[in-house]
Amino acid sequence: MHKRISINTALPGKAKSRVMIIYTGGTFGMTYDATGVLIPFDFSLILQQLPALRNLFLDITVISFDQPIDSSNIQPAHWKMIGEIIFENYQEQDGFVVLHGTDTMSFTASALSFMLPGLAKPVIFTGAQLPISEPRSDARENLITSLEIASARENGQPLVPEVCIYFDYELLRGNRSKKVESMHFDAFRSENFPSLAKAGVKIDYNLSAIRKPDKGSLRLLTTFCSDVSVLKLFPGIESRTVEAILQTVGLKALILETYGSGNAPSAPWFIDTLTKAIKKGILILNISQCPGGMVVQGKYETSKFLAEIGVISGGDMTLEAAVTKLMLLLGEFEMDQVKRKINLPVAGELS
């Protein structure tokens, strides 16, 4: 069970929108007790910390995990919990704000974008680099603006009907985002896709970049297969290292983090090892180590052989999107379908 708190900041029947906050854990919701130890924040007291919430005129429901999760401990089971909360409350809410630790926020936002085909309402992930109790905390602005975006409508329709991350005055597509900073407030970046909105004196929406709502009613996919591994290439990598990973018991897919536009060593032992793995049925997906740009297999001689032996190009997907999409596809479909679907865009994750 999860804790449920109602916070109505509007007169009865006068609420601008109904928005659900899902608190999973993370720095945002921490505060200090009398002894100076960080403990989870009591969201029933949120109006004391953020009196400006009253000016949003929202009917807010807070769902809080019984045991807040440090985002370094996030697992697919937690993605399922978040997805189920959204799915079960979808009809009665106009939008959702998910408070989540920053370390794995891009993974969770990516996962949710694939788990919710048919999504037509905002799901805005946010968090903070400093606890809400800190005088200089970024939590207040991040939450207030996230709530405003989650409730924003035009002609009766949500302005941002997709899974996003809002942080430090910028709204990014969730499955295009990557955490790039741990010491400053601008923690996230999207190198291969423009911002969906920027918040200044007003919120300036980039309407041409925002996805149109998916057709059909909302569905929820929750079967994940974690038989996935990631191999980051580096000069001097040994054959025994590559072989050890590819010989992992039960391995179904490998994400190969290559150089530049998808390049890899052309040493015979490397080509032979990958070829054997592919013939055994292991899917190998090529994702660039570069945060910007994309994989173009065959642009250089050092990537042409990858396409020839059956490595699949991941285009301009982030590692976070590739991992979560692969896990969900492997859980929901047979391998031949996974191979067909992995490099086809389903939630705006690929150009």
Residue in the block written with tokens 């975006």: 149
Alpha-carbon span 254 to 274, nearest angstrom? 10
Q: Is the CB of residue 284 less than 8 Å from the CB of residue 271?
A: no
Which ranges constitute the DSSP H helices of 7-62? 46-49
What does the buried/exposed string (b/e) look like for 316-336 if buried means 16 or more CB atoms within 10 Å of the residue's CB? bbbbbbbbbbbbbbbbbbeee
Does the annotation mark 35 as catalytic?
A: no
Instruction: Determine which one of 24, 27, 102, 145 is catalytic.
Output: 27
- Phi/psi region, residue 245 (left: phi>0; alpha: psi -120 to 50; beta: rest), is alpha
Using the structure block, give the residue that is written with the tokens 């994309």: 294
Number of neighbours of residue 279 by Cβ within 10 angstroms: 10
Query: What is the strand order of the sheet 283-288 is part of?
Result: 228-232, 253-258, 283-288, 312-313
Catalytically active residues, by annotation: 27
